[in-house]
Structure 1
Amino acid sequence: MERGLRILSAFSGDRAVLGIADLARAVGLNKSTTYRYVATLTKLEYIRQDPETKKYFLGPRVVDLGFAAIDSMELTKVAGPLLQALADETGYTVSMGLCDGPDVVYVDRRRSGRRSSLTMDLNLHVGSRLPAYCTSMGKVLLAYKDPATLRQILDRTDMARRGPKTITNREQLLAALAKVRQSSVAVNDEELAPGLRSFAAPVRDRSGEVVAAVNIAVHLTVAPATVDALAGRLEPALRRTAAEISRRLGHRPQP
């Protein structure tokens, strides 16, 4: 991964088109090793090759990554204070994630400064990834995908058992996602790990598209209540926070 990023970084405004020899010198690798990385990056459309000169230039996926990075920075800038307020209000750890294929990528994570005894640490941080199918944020993000995209994602998903209540059957997962669309909240009840529960709600942009999810994570050791009891306590604040982030992103619900 590091070498691939070094190759991408070799392209710049005055060096937008490079050959294998140029790239090899720029990243300090021999030509054969450089070519293997370039071939992979070309296949993934991060770079492209001019059929006549045989030289390379950045491809459309890099542009997509750039826009995604800008969107992510804007999203976390808007959401950060609201996520911290939700963590302080509830006393639990609050996170925000984006969808990247079959994974959820954490882009923000906040712990309460008021009731730290209730926070939990699963060794997650900004940039961490978890499988979408067995997480509350993942189920929110999957639930609002169009059917064709969802099918492609699930085709790439190994629905292995990770917790005592993991949904490992595709039809059961689809039924659970339908419930998420109806209620606008996803629940993870020990599907990722024993004792872990979380509740997630969608964040929408000005077009109404679901672009992120916000969750509150709790553990049975600090909150031994039933799922319904926890939902009654946590969902109103969770929904309010997700709605306010969406509003600040320009979303206006239809009357």
Structure 2
Amino acid sequence: MTSQSLERGLRILTELAENGPVLGIADLARAVGLNRSTTHRYVATLAGLGFLQQDPDTRKYSLGPRVVDLGFAAISSMEITGVAAAHLQTLSDETGCAASMAVLDGTDIVYVERRRSRRQTGVAVDLNLHVGSRLPAYCTSMGKVLLAHRDPAALRTLLDRVELTRRGPRTITVRDQLVTALAQVRQAGLAVNDEELAPGLRSLAAPIRDRSGQVVAAINLAVHLTTWATSVESIVSRFSPPLIRTAAEISHQLGFRSSM
């Protein structure tokens, strides 16, 4: 037996998470299929508990600090982050590049772990990424890995919700080209991002599998043209072996056993 009130409250939070970041009562009422007065009661309760906050000027609502607290608590409690942290630090120290892990949430990736090299002196492009950061999946290397391993029907549904906006000089903005690229990623077991997210930023990503063999996360290395101004082929040759090795080590610790 389910709680209708709890379900409605969670639907409001989900709507803001997926289609916000700021929505009014009328927008929320339409999205969750309730009248305005009922929606307002739920929103007022959620705001009182700190799960929503209201802009005093626009009177619209956004997610509140309690949601952030829950999100970070969930990330911290995930088995995968505990397993991956030391491996990512070792990978970052070995390569001198920032190493990250992300999971797929709708059409976005969410960073659940990020490590910097202890010998790194700084880079020109950082994007202020941290645990909890979200980026569009279609123009990131980890996103392409995670999209590539969705079943075809689920992938079509996700892509129907995405506007392929240009983010960098080489962003893929044509759906058929993206689908072709994702098929190549699935076959190769490696995704390469060549200035698709931002100018001067390249990255490589590999999948993380759980004990059932499902791809549950991806890890990447961020490579900046200010420090590695060389061809994509050279970057793949240099960084893909330690990246793939680390992905295999994390997957193995999660219980995945390759049949090969």
Shorter-chain TM band: 0.7 to 0.9
Other-structure match for 1:42? none
Whether contact under 8 Å (2:123, 2:226) holds in the other structure is no
Other-structure match for 1:33? 40
- Larger mean CA deviation between 111-120 and 94-103 belongs to 111-120
Cα 1:141–1:95 change in 2 (3 A) is same
Other-structure match for 1:132? 137
Indicate the RMSD between aligned Cα atoms, in angstroms: 2.6
Instruction: Give the C-alpha shift of residue 237 in structure 1.
Output: 0.1
> Distance in 1 between the 2:251 and 2:44 partners?
39
- Which amino acid is 2:198 matched to? A
Give the 5 Å matches for 1:75-224: 75-117=80-122, 121-224=126-229
Q: TM-score, normalised by structure 2?
A: 0.73
Instruction: Give the C-alpha shift of residue 33 in structure 1.
Output: 2.4
> Distance in 1 between the 2:211 and 2:193 partners?
28
> Distance in 2 between the 1:38 and 1:161 partners?
39
| Unmatched segments (≥5 aa) in structure 1 | 9-29, 40-64
Instruction: Give the C-alpha shift of residue 118 in structure 1.
Output: 5.2
Whether contact under 8 Å (2:124, 2:226) holds in the other structure is no
Other-structure match for 1:18? none
Deviations 1:191-223 (A, max 9, x none): 011111000000000000000000000111111
Instruction: Give the C-alpha shift of residue 140 in structure 1.
Output: 0.1
Instruction: Give the C-alpha shift of residue 180 in structure 1.
Output: 0.5
> Distance in 2 between the 1:245 and 1:98 partners?
14
| Unmatched segments (≥5 aa) in structure 2 | 1-8, 14-36, 47-69
Identity of aligned residues (%): 63
Instruction: Give the C-alpha shift of residue 36 in structure 1.
Output: 5.0
Instruction: Give the C-alpha shift of residue 87 in structure 1.
Output: 0.3
Cα 1:32–1:230 change in 2 (3 A) is closer
Instruction: Give the C-alpha shift of residue 119 in structure 1.
Output: 8.3
> Distance in 2 between the 1:98 and 1:127 partners?
10
- Which amino acid is 1:236 matched to? P
Give the 5 Å matches for 1:10-89: 33-36=40-43, 69=74, 73-89=78-94
Other-structure match for 1:55? none
Instruction: Give the C-alpha shift of residue 69 in structure 1.
Output: 3.4
Other-structure match for 2:53? none
Q: TM-score, normalised by structure 1?
A: 0.74
> Distance in 2 between the 1:247 and 1:71 partners?
20
> Distance in 1 between the 2:147 and 2:39 partners?
40
Other-structure match for 1:56? none
Cα 1:172–1:71 change in 2 (3 A) is farther
Whether contact under 8 Å (1:92, 1:119) holds in the other structure is no
> Distance in 2 between the 1:197 and 1:97 partners?
16
Instruction: Give the C-alpha shift of residue 170 in structure 1.
Output: 0.6
Deviations 1:22-64 (A, max 9, x none): xxxxxxxx9762235789xxxxxxxxxxxxxxxxxxxxxxxxx
SS at the partner of 2:218? Answer: strand
> Distance in 2 between the 1:70 and 1:91 partners?
25
Whether contact under 8 Å (1:111, 1:119) holds in the other structure is no
